[in-house]
A and B are shown apart, each in its own frame.
Chain A
Amino acid sequence: QKEVEQNSGPLSVPEGAIASLNCTYSDRVSQSFFWYRQYSGKSPELIMSIYSNGDKEDGRFTAQLNKASQYVSLLIRDSQPSDSATYLCAGGQGGADGLTFGKGTHLIIQP
């Protein structure tokens, strides 16, 4: 059974610093990985996707994937209080097989 592991936190980071979120997954079949942000009481919102080993940057966000180590991370540069949320890591094979989600990391950006 596929599993996606995340540290539940809370992870507290001062405003303006880099927030680093990590995720490991248990299977070697998953090909696509995603980071979702979920504010309290709201639905998950896709912020990054990554399919190849290495880094992928989008604005203040950088996703990193290492398939050999089965490790995915998300870096948030210049953290803002509005980045405070739960970040969900998810992996899947594509198709209609569905994504497996981690339990999420609660990130708090301190002003």
Chain B
Amino acid sequence: DTAVSQTPKYLVTQMGNDKSIKCEQNLGHDTMYWYKQDSKKFLKIMFSYNNKELIINETVPNRFSPKSPDKAHLNLHINSLELGDSAVYFCASSQEYSNYGYTFGSGTRLTVV
């Protein structure tokens, strides 16, 4: 059983398209995150949700819109994709205040051509 699962694993799309990435966790965690890892391997937080409530919304273009239908799911929708959006997007989950760190999903490698 995969603890944090993301789909799709790979996504190749043209500039200007709209795409979504889905994430589900079965760990019973109450907090979920989206991180972006660029070509230099730098992991940067984009969003965090706690019990379906948006907590962190870093300086991310408003073309990126997260949605959490329940605390086990966090999806990321990206409008009007640009070349610079190419990266690996990781979903992660944790239990708030647990200090046990995150469990990451396997990542979605997005390539915009």
User: A residues within 8 Å of B by Cβ?
Assistant: 32, 34, 36, 38, 42-46, 49, 51, 86, 88, 90, 94-101, 103-104
A96-B55, A97-B48, A99-B45 given as contacts; is B101 within 8 A of A46 (CB)? yes
A88-B43, A97-B55, A104-B41 given as contacts; is B96 within 8 A of A43 (CB)? no
Contact present for B99 and A103 (CB under 8 Å): no
Contact present for A97 and B41 (CB under 8 Å): no
A73 to B90, CA, bound (A): 25
Q: Which of B12-20, B75-83, B103-111 contacts A (4 or more CB under 8 A)?
A: B103-111
Which residue of the partner chain, among B31, B35, B103, B106, contacts A96 with CB atoms under 8 Å? B31
Q: B31: which A residues are within 8 A, CB to CB? A: 96
Q: B43: which A residues are within 8 A, CB to CB? A: 44, 88, 101
Closest chain A residue to B58 by CB distance?
A98
Contact present for B96 and A98 (CB under 8 Å): no
25 CB-based A-B contacts, threshold 8 Å = A32-B99, A32-B101, A36-B101, A38-B41, A42-B106, A44-B43, A44-B90, A49-B99, A49-B100, A51-B99, A86-B41, A94-B99, A95-B96, A96-B31, A96-B48, A96-B55, A98-B33, A98-B55, A99-B45, A99-B102, A100-B45, A101-B42, A103-B41, A104-B41, A104-B42
New A-B contacts (15) at CB < 8 Å, excluding given A95-B50, A95-B96, A103-B40? A32-B101, A34-B101, A43-B105, A43-B107, A44-B90, A44-B102, A44-B104, A46-B100, A88-B43, A97-B48, A97-B56, A99-B102, A101-B43, A101-B44, A103-B42
Contact present for A98 and B99 (CB under 8 Å): no
CB of B62 to closest CB in A, whole Å: 19
A49 to B104, CA, bound (A): 15
